[in-house]
Every structure is written in structure tokens, then in C-alpha cells.
Amino acid sequence: MTASTTHLPATLNFEGVTLDVVHLDNEMWLRVHEIGEALGYSKPLQSVTNLYNANASEFTDKMTRLVKLPTAGGEQTVRVFSLRGAHLLGMFARTERARAFRRWVLDVLDQYVQQLPADATETLTPSEQQQLQEAVNMRCHGLPPERQGKARAEIWSRIHHRFRIARYQQLPRHQLVEAIAYVLKMDLHGCPPPDAPQARERVSERDMRAIRRVIWQIATCFHHDIAFAQAVWKFLRRELQHPAPNPWYVDQLPGIAALLGRLLAYAMKAREFVQDIESQVIRHILRGPLAEETLLEFAAAERAKIGGLLASEPDLPNWLRADLLFVTDRSRALLSDWPEYSEAAH
């Protein structure tokens, strides 16, 4: 992540206890012994360490990690917790201050999430950089070989100027689709873009199968998968301003892949989120009756997680990026037994 961390505070204060903020991945992390002090333990480091060890299976690597930090005794390996991790510690703690600490953490988390859309900007992932490169290659396709080098240089220069970036790798992720559309419609020194209807190449059945495969992956993350698949098709047509029943064209494949990549990343993250909620609810029920206040705190924590999910765009694992490449790389052979979701007839 390349976003600035200047919006993150250097310290936080809970009822007179100062907690030094560790900045990692544009997030706030807290030291284990300072969390123990905030929770009111007489032996902060030992008590919170024991609390964590007894419930280690409940924590993910996004909640806690070991990092090297400067201390009074020199650089040492210290366990730190994210705000979500600190809140979970507060759920397990049984001190008098635990309840107030949990509420305080949620307030801090809410304030942090509200700042993210204005201050945090994620840049293109490697797979998204490749999608933009493929759009540039597609725009240069068909030009005389002696012109292609200058055409590519012109395209990249105009991208840098249009989006005010020094390198294309600095392009914000949310502007990828706009950048691809800009490239494909670009007029190169009087050479019109290849978007005249009679000159456009329609996608093949192989191309449609690749698209339908990714839509199937997105839709099956949710219970109402068939309805969700049709919603994805409508989303593609709306974002690309290509109403049904118009056929799809080859020059639209990079834009389609970019949109599907974003949807797939969010869908996979949302599925993990729902599964995590189900798992935690079951654990709470099995441990005994849920007090109303505990349930409300749990709901507030989940709302904060949703805010965090929507505040920054998740990335795709490599094995899913490979499926997206089938959309843009038409030379890749498809498997014959791929599951797919077709667009409803109009």
C-alpha cells in the first residue's frame, strides 16, 4: 500500500493511559503491554500475553503480528495488535475497564475508517498494471510496425498527463477502468481509434466463456447466485455504457476484465466476512447466553469491519488473477468443463 500515513495519530489516550501508535500498512497497531495497561491489569505484559495465548486461534494475521521495535533496552521483537485485535482482546478480558475499552476501540476505529476515503489511495496491483498494459497493446494493434514504438510512448505520456502521475504504476485503482477507456478511445496524431462499429471485432464464444466463468466465480460467493450473476451483467453494461442487447467487442475486454477483477476481489472478501460472522456467532452461542449489551457490541464491531472493507479495495490472490487473464489473453485455451453464468436474453 502506498498511501500516506500522515492522517494517523502518533498516540492515543484511553482514560489517562497513553498508547504509542505503531504505523503498519497504513493502519494503527498497539503494543501488547500498553493494551494491558489500558485494560487495567496489574501485570500488563504477562496478563495480555496469557490472554492471547489462550485464544490464539481466534486471531488472524490482520489482528496481531510480531515486529521489531525500538525499546528502552534496544531493538526488540514485540507483539502488536491492530484495532480489531485490540477489540477482540477486550472481548476476552474480564477486568472492570474491559467494557469501556471495547467501546473506545470501536470509536477510534470508526474515526479511522471515516478518514480513509479522503486520505488513503491504493495504487494498481501487478495484475491491474498488466491489464492497462494490455489495453495499450490493443490500441497499438494494427498500426504499422514502425509506428508502434512512438504510439506506445505517446499513450503512456498522455496517461501520465491526464491522471497527473509520474509512472503508470502510481495510478489509483479506482481509476483503472477510466484509464483503459481513455486508452482505447485515444486519437493518436490524427489516427482515429478503432471504435467504428463496422471495424470492431466481436468477441468469440471462447471470449464469452471466459467472461461467464469469472461471473460464475463472483456470483457463487453469495446465496442468490443466479440473481447476482444477472446483476453483474447489468453492472458491466452500465459501467461500460454498452446497453443490451448490443454484442460485446474485443476492444472492450480489458475494461470488462478490470471491472470483473474489482467485483471478484470484493466478493471474495465479503464471503470471508460472512463466514467469519457466522463462525463468531456460533462460538458466542455455544459459550452461553448472549447478553444484549455484548450482542450490540458485537454488531458494532461487525459494522466497523464493513466500513474497513469498503474503505480500501482488496486485492486478488494469484490463482484468481489467472482466471482473469483468460479474459484478456485470447491465446489461452479454456477447459471444456468450466462452470459459467450466461447473460439473460433481452
Cell readout for 313 is 479495495
Distance between CA atoms of 319 and 276, rounded to whole angstroms? Answer: 22
Phi-psi region of 74 (alpha: psi -120 to 50; beta: other; left: phi over 0): left
Residues 172, 175, 180, 186, Cα dihedral to 10°: -100
Q: What is the DSSP letter of 173?
A: G
Residue 220's identity, in one-letter code, is T
Per-residue pLDDT tens listing for the chain (346 residues): 333 444 678 889 999 999 999 988 778 899 999 999 999 999 999 999 999 998 888 888 888 999 988 877 778 899 999 888 898 898 889 899 998 998 898 888 767 655 554 434 578 888 788 888 888 888 887 788 888 888 899 999 999 888 888 889 888 877 887 888 888 778 887 565 554 444 578 899 999 999 998 898 888 887 777 888 898 999 898 888 888 888 898 888 888 988 888 888 888 887 777 777 777 777 777 776 666 666 667 667 766 666 666 555 666 666 667 777 788 788 888 776 667 778 775 5
Cell readout for 188 is 493518436
Q: What is the DSSP letter of 124?
A: P
SS3 of 21, please? strand
Distance between CA atoms of 315 and 240, rounded to whole angstroms? Answer: 22
Q: What is the DSSP letter of 314?
A: -
**pTM to 2 decimal places:** 0.48
Distance between CA atoms of 51 and 33, rounded to whole angstroms? Answer: 12
Distance between CA atoms of 104 and 100, rounded to whole angstroms? Answer: 6
